[in-house]
Chains A and B, each alone.
Chain A
Amino acid sequence: MKKINKSTIFFLIGAALVYVIVQTLASLKIINTFWETILLLAGVMAIVSLGLNLIYGFNGQFSLGQYGFYAIGAYTAADITYRWTQLHSAEGLTVVFFIAILTAITIVVVQKAVSKIRGLDTLSAFAMYLAVVLAAIFAAVKLGQLVANPITALLNLLPAKTAQMIVYVIAIILGGAIAAEVSFLYGLPILTLGSDYFGIATLGFTIIVKVLLDNSDTMLGFQEMKGARGMIGIPKLTNWTWIFIFLFLTIVFIRNLLNSSYGRAIVSIREDETAATSMGINVPFYKTITFVIGSFLAGMAGGLYAHVNGFLHPNTFSFVKSFDPLIIVVFGGLGSVTGTVTASFGWALVLEGVLRLVLPDGFETWRYVVYPILLLIMMLLKPNGLFGNYEIPFIRSIVPPLKDKANNEKKSEEVA
Chain B
Amino acid sequence: MERKNQNPIIQWIVKTKILGILFFVVIGAFVIYALGQALTNNPSLFLQQVVNGLQLGFVYALIALGYTMIYGIVRLINFAHGDVFMVGAFTSFFTISRFNLHLWFQNLFPSFPAMPAQIIGAITVVLASMAICALLAFTIEKIAYKPLREAPRISALITAIGISFFLEYFGALNFVFTPNYITYKRPFEVKSWFIGPSGFGTIESGVTSPSNSIIFSNIFVIIVLASLSLLLVLQYIVKRTKIGKAMRAVAYDKPTARLMGINSDAVISITFALGAALAGAAGVLYAIAYPQVYFTMGIIPGMKAFVAAVVGGIGSIPGAFIGALIMGQAETLSAAYISTPMRDAIAFSLLVIVLLIRPKGIMGEIASEKV
Give the B-binding residues of A (Cβ under 8 A).
Answer: 62, 117-128, 130, 189-190, 192-194, 196-197, 199-201, 204-205, 207-208, 211-212, 214-215, 219, 319-320, 323, 326-327, 330, 334, 365-369, 371-373, 375-376, 379-380, 383-384, 404-406, 409, 413
B148 vs chain A, min Cβ distance (A): 6
**Contact status B173-A201, CB under 8 Å:** no
Beta-carbon contacts under 8 Å, B12-31 to A: 13-14, 17-24
Residue of B nearest to A385 (CB): B155
CB neighbours of B359 from chain A (8 A): 192-194, 197
**Contact status B356-A368, CB under 8 Å:** no
**Contact status B17-A123, CB under 8 Å:** yes
Bound together, the chains give a CA A190 to CA B10 distance in angstroms of: 24
A214-B341, A330-B158 known; A117 vs B10 contact (CB < 8 Å): yes
**Contact status A211-B356, CB under 8 Å:** no
**Contact status A369-B19, CB under 8 Å:** no
Q: Which of B10, B153, B162 contacts A376 (CB 8 A)?
A: B162
**Contact status B151-A406, CB under 8 Å:** yes
CB neighbours of A376 from chain B (8 A): 143-144, 159, 162-163, 166
Q: Which of the candidate stretches B217-225, B230-238, B272-280, B343-351 sits at the interface with the other chain?
A: B343-351
A371 vs chain B, min Cβ distance (A): 7
**Contact status B19-A365, CB under 8 Å:** no
Chain B 146-170: CB-based contact to A (< 8 A → 1; otherwise 0): 0110111111001101111110111
Residue of A nearest to B2 (CB): A118
**Contact status B310-A200, CB under 8 Å:** yes
A121-B20, A376-B163, A405-B154 known; A201 vs B169 contact (CB < 8 Å): no
Residue of B nearest to A373 (CB): B166
Provide the main secondary structure of the chain B interface: helix
**Contact status B20-A124, CB under 8 Å:** yes
A124-B19, A197-B355, A204-B348 known; A379 vs B166 contact (CB < 8 Å): no
Chain B 294-326: CB-based contact to A (< 8 A → 1; otherwise 0): 000001000100110010000000000000000
CB neighbours of B3 from chain A (8 A): 118
Bound together, the chains give a CA A128 to CA B174 distance in angstroms of: 55
A127-B23, A128-B19 known; A118 vs B14 contact (CB < 8 Å): yes
**Contact status B351-A127, CB under 8 Å:** no
B251 vs chain A, min Cβ distance (A): 13
Q: Which of A122, A208, A215, A372 contacts B20 (CB 8 A)?
A: A122
CB neighbours of B179 from chain A (8 A): 365
CB neighbours of B75 from chain A (8 A): 196
**Contact status A380-B147, CB under 8 Å:** yes
Residue of B nearest to A405 (CB): B152
Bound together, the chains give a CA A289 to CA B267 distance in angstroms of: 42
CB neighbours of A196 from chain B (8 A): 75, 77
**Contact status B163-A372, CB under 8 Å:** yes
Q: Is B367 an interface residue (CB 8 A)?
A: no
Q: Is B47 an interface residue (CB 8 A)?
A: no
CB neighbours of A367 from chain B (8 A): 169
12 residue pairs of the A-B complex, CB under 8 angstroms, read A119-B5, A120-B13, A122-B20, A123-B21, A127-B19, A127-B20, A190-B355, A190-B356, A197-B359, A201-B352, A376-B159, A380-B159
Q: Is B40 an interface residue (CB 8 A)?
A: no
Bound together, the chains give a CA A208 to CA B343 distance in angstroms of: 10
Residue of A nearest to B155 (CB): A383
Q: Which of B174, B299, B345 contacts A320 (CB 8 A)?
A: B299
**Contact status A211-B355, CB under 8 Å:** no
A123-B19, A376-B163 known; A204 vs B307 contact (CB < 8 Å): yes
CB neighbours of A124 from chain B (8 A): 13-14, 17-20, 23
Q: Which of B143, B161, B169 contacts A327 (CB 8 A)?
A: B161
**Contact status B148-A379, CB under 8 Å:** yes
**Contact status A189-B169, CB under 8 Å:** no
Q: Is B172 an interface residue (CB 8 A)?
A: yes
Q: A211-B342, A368-B165, A380-B144 are in contact. List 14 more A-B contacts (CB 8 A).
A: A119-B2, A119-B14, A124-B13, A200-B306, A200-B307, A204-B351, A204-B352, A326-B158, A365-B172, A366-B173, A372-B166, A375-B165, A383-B151, A406-B150
Bound together, the chains give a CA A125 to CA B165 distance in angstroms of: 40
**Contact status A375-B345, CB under 8 Å:** no
Bound together, the chains give a CA A379 to CA B3 distance in angstroms of: 51
Bound together, the chains give a CA A119 to CA B4 distance in angstroms of: 9
Bound together, the chains give a CA A127 to CA B13 distance in angstroms of: 12
